[in-house]
Amino acid sequence: MQDSTQILNEQFIDNLWVPSKSKTRRPVLDPYREAHIAEVTGGAPADVDAAVAAARRALPAWQATPEPRRGEYLEAIAAGLETRHQALAELSSRNNGKPLAESYQDLDDAIACYRYYAEAAVALGERQGTVEETGQPDLEARHYWEPVGVVGLITPWNFPLVSSAWKLAPALAAGCTVVFKPSEVTPLPERMLTEIVTEAGLPPGVFNLLQGDGEGIGAPMSHHPGIDKLSFTGSNPVGEAVMRAAAQGVRPVSLELGGKSPILVTDDADLTLARDLVIAGICYNAGQMCSATSRLLVHERLADDLYAAIDAAMAALRLGDPLAAETDMGPLVSTTQRERVRDYVALAEEEGLGSETPALALPEHGFFVPPRLYREVPTTSRLWQEEIFGPVLCARRVADDDEAIALANDSDFGLAATVVAGDPDRAEAIARRLEAGNVWCNSDQIAPPQGSWGGMKRSGIGRELGEAGLDAYLELKRITRPLRA
């Protein structure tokens, strides 16, 4: 299908759009209409140099800006997102493929995040100079928190505006200046941030947005000596490359990487609740979530009934236009992602994995893969072990909680998990034994700004959101001095 295309061959540096030094472009797609809706520059190392230079120039003045004033800027960004609520949600759905209701939820989460860190900036100012006793009768110590410096922020395509808010809001609140690379797959929603920060009056050089791919922008950012900290969300192979690059100069990194999250259903669980949480955990955003609960461990007493309920719920999902109110699940974000998921489906057939999920009629166009439940998947299967990033659910029945916990923890990843149990105390007891950074008990996957986000094992390093999210962009300074007379 064809559509008009917008040429995005500029970079936002020092509050101005300047031509990219790159001559390469890549298409930006509407994954439902399979149409080219824009072309974005691949970016170049010279673009990174210019953005880092701007951020370094702006750093001293931004660092000296009082914390409450920085909070006012963040509140203005939140207001700018609110003003463009409908336009941004529609743009996100068109560029990413997720249903409009999910895009609205994403946008609300981003707004809440900026507002949370606006308040956190004020609180940061109030705790500057906190006094600590030294144990010496004539000495005292004071604590001050200073920004890390210039930070490089790299976000993925599955949650536009949300992933960026989780990084931008605390970094700006802390007094850092930023060089931000959104995904080249979904650059359109993030591009509108440039209008918002300009209207908010953010000083030149504090926020710089670079459009481009990993080779043109991502790798040069990761290696750039002028960037003091890197925060990356995405795949494990790229995250490992970012970490290797950051080792040069001993720069700190925050990494939010992959997952292969379990959902555990006990013998006393409510069957309807379990079905709903399973469907939400694997079909939200068409399964394109690092926290997708793609491994189901269900007690043998409920297994057959839950399998049947899941198959029926998957068969009832309405796949279609992300902008249509009746759509439950949209397409995958790209042909590359669709082929990746199809490869796993083909592998399941080769391995003889069993699925009784009724076949769904797919729309005439769009990068769709219908949801599937595979039953009694061996733990040796690649589908059980690897992150698929699509609506593919692998299930096993278990005899008791101990077996479920052991199988849940038998993974290289430890980002998230869900526990569904009739007894809330039993659910929490199970959750305490799971090796995961985020566990929901009888609940949807909520991630409020005052919470915490991050994983164990190969799922990453550090935490986003909450106080930990702000601390990730701060350095603690302790000053010892004689007591005042």
Structure-block tokens of residue 214: 């990993």
> CA nearest 298: which of 264, 262, 271?
264
Could you tell me if 210 and 48 are in contact, meaning their C-beta atoms sit under 8 angstroms apart?
yes
> CA nearest 388: which of 328, 449, 436, 347?
347
Buried b (16+ CB within 10 A) or exposed e, 366-399: bbbbbbbbbbebeeebebbbebbbbbbbbbbbbe
CA–CA separation, 111 and 73 (whole Å): 13
Could you tell me if 153 and 168 are in contact, meaning their C-beta atoms sit under 8 angstroms apart?
yes
- Residue 283 designated active-site: no
Could you tell me if 106 and 92 are in contact, meaning their C-beta atoms sit under 8 angstroms apart?
yes
Could you tell me if 257 and 236 are in contact, meaning their C-beta atoms sit under 8 angstroms apart?
yes
Q: Which of 290, 394, 441, 464 is catalytic?
A: 290
Could you tell me if 5 and 37 are in contact, meaning their C-beta atoms sit under 8 angstroms apart?
yes
Could you tell me if 178 and 168 are in contact, meaning their C-beta atoms sit under 8 angstroms apart?
yes
Tokens 């009082």 sit on residue: 66
Tokens 């609110």 sit on residue: 82
Strands in 438-441's sheet, in edge-to-edge order, are 372-374, 392-398, 293-299, 261-265, 416-420, 438-441
Q: Which of 256, 283, 394, 441 is catalytic?
A: 256
Chain-centre distance of CA 164, in angstroms?
A: 8
| Residues annotated as part of the active site | 256, 290
